Amino acid sequence: MIRIKLFILFCLVLLGGSKYPPGSPVLQVPEKDFFKMEGVTVTHLLENSKDSLSDNKVIELQDQNGLTVWFGRYFFKDICTTGICRMVRLWIFWDGTGHYLGIQLDENDPLTKSDHTPFGLQDYTRLDEIMADTVSILKDLRYEDLTVEQKVDKEEKGIFEVDGYSSATAPSLKEYVVDDAVFTCYTLWHTVYGETKAYIDDLLKERINPGYIEHLMNGDSNQQLFALENIRQQNKYFPEFESRILDFITSENKDIAEKGISLITPEYLTDLKKQPRFVGLIKDARPAVKYEIIYKMQLVDDVSPDAIILLLDLFYAGDISQGALNHIFRIIEKQMATDKSIRENKSIQKRLEKLASQPDPYISRLTRNFIENTSWLD
């Protein structure tokens, strides 16, 4: 999604001409405008900022529940190369979980490339992707790593002030930056992940309490993920939100489901009473999560007969794929080694016999082999 607001087309019409070189792209004006979002604004003062040029205020937009819609800060950034600098003025926004959300530019001040042509719409889309990449290659590079020296004709030297004519973008970086804008990408990426984000992260940490987590869990997917991550970091909140966490494991959202199940530890599953509900989540879970539930049960030293019976029933009902049957047998075999009563459990035996008589040759053969190898009927 394009998150940058530009008014270049309006400016060109208003001025009756263009200040950009011939052939510059005419940009569409994206509809996204962060300042048109509804909410209550709160101003935070960023004290002792190392960025003396930029505004030291962080603006926060909150919704009616007090949850953050976005944080924003207005920046003045010098982007320099070969001794010549130009000033970039823009807003950068982070969402309510501290992740990059987008940028918004002054109406008359678009980002430009090496020959002063403005960014095209695709350039802004690519820039957005680069800024959202938390592990970008730009993270560990120095300014001097961005370009390689390139010979320039004497007549041309000095015409282009920035980004790759007197020095060219390092070939290894081309796929990670906007064409002819490596210094812009580098400077903005480090701005996105600099002191302002650190301040926002600290601000959000201070707000974490049961009430705030509850609001987050009722929010959008990013807020729900943020709630789950904070519970992972502070396990003391797990008991209060246990039921909601289990519900999240069956979410259709892949990230939420995976984050939810990551909170289920072997220690949690030592409680035999909790195992059946956890296993029962298989019925509504995504395929990958179904396997993860079974894998977690394999790590448990003491699995209840009720959980084993439920696993077999879910398989028989078609809620578990054929490939997982062998994992279920491993769970049973592991329990047989420590709990002799498992072999005597008539409900488990009945279900094994039922699977052994299945018309599907794979299921019946695998079950009969398990029964024979474990001497179940001896």
Per-residue pLDDT of 82-95, as tens digits, reads 567 788 899 999 99
Confidence (pLDDT) at 171:
66
The structure's pTM equals 0.79
CA–CA gap between residue 131 and residue 192 (Å, rounded): 7
Please give, one letter per residue, the 3-state secondary structure of 294-351.
Answer: HHHHHCCCCCCHHHHHHHHHHHHCCCCCHHHHHHHHHHHHHHHHHCHHHCCCHHHHHH
CA–CA gap between residue 249 and residue 263 (Å, rounded): 10
From first CA to last CA, the distance across the chain in angstroms is: 64
3-state secondary structure of 92: strand
Question: Average pLDDT in the 179-203 region?
Answer: 93
CB 249 within 8 A of CB 256: no
Confidence (pLDDT) at 202:
96
Tokens representing 21 are 């070189």
Best CA proximity match to 19, nearest among 127, 155, 120, 115: 115
For residue 254, pLDDT over 80 is answered with: yes
Sheet with strand 84-95: strands edge to edge: 40-45, 57-62, 68-81, 84-95, 100-105
**Does 74 or 9 have the greater pLDDT score?**
74
Confidence (pLDDT) at 87:
87
Confidence (pLDDT) at 179:
86
Confidence (pLDDT) at 360:
93
For residue 332, pLDDT over 90 is answered with: yes
Confidence (pLDDT) at 20:
41
**111-149 confidence digits (pLDDT tens):** 888 777 888 888 999 999 999 999 999 998 887 777 666
The model's confidence at residue 207, banded by pLDDT at 50, 70 and 90, is: very high
Question: Average pLDDT in the 197-217 region?
Answer: 96
3-state secondary structure of 70: strand
Candidate from 42-51, 106-115, 183-192 with smallest mean pLDDT = 106-115
Tally helices (H) and strands (E) across the chain: 14, 7
